[in-house]
Structure formats: structure tokens, C-alpha cells
Amino acid sequence: MKIFALWIAALVLVSAGAQAKTPGDESAGPQRTLASQKAYRECDFPKLERYLLASLNHDVEGVVVSALREVAKIKLAQPACSSDDIREKVEELVRDGSSPAVSYKAYLTAVVLASPETFVEEGNTEFATDEQFFTAIADRLERSALADAR
């Protein structure tokens, strides 16, 4: 079952057009890319929904985090796209994630789902890792909160 779920996670990533980069690659930082965003815009969300849900329910933290990133990237590419089941699962992970890191990344994903228009720049940027993506989302959220406080 675990191998099947990992295969599902890989399928989701490939279907969304994610590109892997090696750690020594000098292009491993954020990069502007239209091709990846185009792939996210064109992905068939209803077909991917059940795979995303399976990945969000997985025992391996990395699979869950990657699925959270994919959910957020799809929402940024297709703002009208929504799923009550995915939203509810993300909210559950905010409350009951397997670790504080998973709960925090689920929280960031929930914010993206609620207001994708705030994160347009991050949606148009490809990140080499899930950590870079979630750091960019957190940075944007912090800048937005500080700007609102003025």
C-alpha cells in the first residue's frame, strides 16, 4: 500500500509538471517559469483529486507535504478550482497534522486556498523544493500582515 501511495504522489507531481533539480544545480533556486504554470493550469483537477486525497492521508510526512504543495500550486493556477474534500482534509491537517511542520504547511496551504490572489508571484515561480515554496508563501503572508498593520 505504501508503494502504491508513493506512486500516486509521483503521478501527481508529474501530472502537474513539476521538475526535479539536483542539489548541486546552480539553478536550484526559485525561477520564473511559464511552462510549469501552464501545466498546472491545464491539469485535470477532478482526475487528480482522489490521488491528492490519498497522498494527504499518507503516513509518510514527505508525501503529505508534497501533496499540500501540489494542492496550493493547482489552486494558484486554477483559482476557481475547489474541492470541499481537499479543503476539509487540509483543515484537519492544520489541527491534527503528524508534526508541527505538517500542521504549519497545511495552515499555509489553507491560506492559499482561501486567498490565492495574494500569492500570484509565488504561483508563477517554480521552486526546487517544498521548503522553498512554503518559505515563499510564509514570507508573502508575513509581508502582507505587516503591510496591513500599518
Give domain status of residue 25, yes or no. no
Condensed to tens digits (0 to 9), the pLDDT of residues 57-111 reads 999 999 999 999 999 999 999 999 999 999 999 999 999 999 999 999 999 999 9
Domains in the chain, number? 1
Give domain status of residue 36, yes or no. yes
Domain span at residue 122 reads 2-17+32-149
Q: Name the residue with higher pLDDT: 61 or 25.
A: 61
For position 45, what pLDDT does the model report?
Answer: 87
Query: pLDDT grade, residue 119 (50/70/90)?
Result: very high
Please state whether the predicted TM-score (pTM) of the whole model is above 0.85. Answer: no
Give domain status of residue 24, yes or no. no
Residues 122, 145 contacting (CB under 8 angstroms):
no
Give domain status of residue 22, yes or no. no
Give domain status of residue 23, yes or no. no
Cβ atoms within 10 Å of 94's Cβ, excluding its own:
18
